[in-house]
Amino acid sequence: MDRLTQMATFVKTVELGSFSAAADDLNLSPQLVGKQVKMLEQHLGVSLLHRTTRRQSLTDFGRTFYQRAKIILADMQSAESLAALTRGTPSGRLRINAPVTFGIRALSPRLLEYMVRYPQVSVDLTLSNELVDIVDHGYDVVFRIGELVSSGLKAMPLEPYQMVLCAAPSYLARRPPITNPWDLQQQECLGFTYSDGRSHWSFDSQEGRIDVPITSKLTINQGDPLLAAAVAGLGVVLQPIELVSDALRDGTLVRLLPQYPVPTTSMHMLYAPDRRMTPKLRSFLEFAREAFGQRGPL
């Protein structure tokens, strides 16, 4: 079995915390992942992991070997990138991380176009609302919504994220009318875990920004269950336009307070500044800018 494959499997096991999690990520069985790590230990003649029935942890040597293995694998990836540069054709594995709703509703459909255009590129897309470390997790590109903190990453601005306030006709029929943002304090507001939307919703008016404190009996960490709850008449929802657009078109949701627009949220595509601009990476940055972004040099 290829030694680099065993090394990569070991590194993935350490990063994700278990054989089963590494198996899911690598599309292997947990038994095969465990076998690869064991064969690597046998080759080295030393244990890399302490194993119990409940958990596993690195041995002292395993911790040192893990750091060296990451460097070796990164060097191998750089060498492969040089080959790709020589060929000049986008190819290889592209690892992308994106927020869940944007990833499902906006990015995934457009990825099909990208893969048809560049058939030699394979795409590994991970959807998560958690902030991930692009370097530690080995991503080529990360989409991020909201204000950026200083990270040393290169950031390509995309079209701002547009949120829409809406509710089902069945909900509106049994509740007091909503004529201005402050009326939301007497409504059932459906909260989103990964934003300031858990505590307040903001609107623009002729007098300036309005921040309305809200309370939520139901708070969910993904947009699709919030959409289902809103369509079922459980409350008012504030979610991205791409999530609610179909429901607005077919009338299962009604847009509220259009005279008080919700401020847009900045959105960026991030990549490591020391990441070599391979044809694979450049092709995706250009494609994503064409699909979602503002014009400008890479």
In the chain the first and final C-alpha atoms are separated, in Å, by 40
Residue 82 covered by a domain: no
154 plus 11 within the same structural domain: no
Residue 298 covered by a domain: no
146 plus 128 within the same structural domain: yes
CATH number of the domain residue 50 falls in: 1.10.10.10
pLDDT in tens, 168-192: 999 999 999 999 999 999 999 999 8
pLDDT in tens, 109-137: 999 999 999 999 999 999 998 888 887 88
pLDDT in tens, 217-260: 999 988 999 999 999 999 999 999 999 999 999 999 999 999 99
Positive/negative CA dihedral, 140, 141, 142, 148: positive
99 plus 181 within the same structural domain: no
144 plus 172 within the same structural domain: no
Confirm if 217 and 188 have CB atoms less than 8 A apart.
yes
Among 53-57, 72-76, 116-120, 294-298, which stretch is predicted with the lowest mean pLDDT?
294-298
Show the tokens assigned to 294: 């503002």
Show the tokens assigned to 176: 């007091």
For 181, the 3-state DSSP assignment is helix
Q: How many CA atoms lie within 13 A of 1 on its CB side?
A: 15
Show the tokens assigned to 86: 């020589």
229 plus 287 within the same structural domain: no
Residue 277 covered by a domain: yes
229 plus 171 within the same structural domain: yes
Q: What is the CA radius of gyration of the chain?
A: 23
Confirm if 237 and 190 have CB atoms less than 8 A apart.
yes
Residue 260 covered by a domain: no
Residue 83 covered by a domain: no
pLDDT at residue 86 is higher than 70 = no
From 44, 77, 110, the end of a domain falls on 77
Residue 278 covered by a domain: yes
Q: Alpha-carbon distance 196 to 113, whole Å? A: 34
Q: Alpha-carbon distance 295 to 120, whole Å? A: 26
Residue 156 covered by a domain: yes
Domain, as residue range, for 139? 88-161+266-292
Total number of domains in the chain? 3
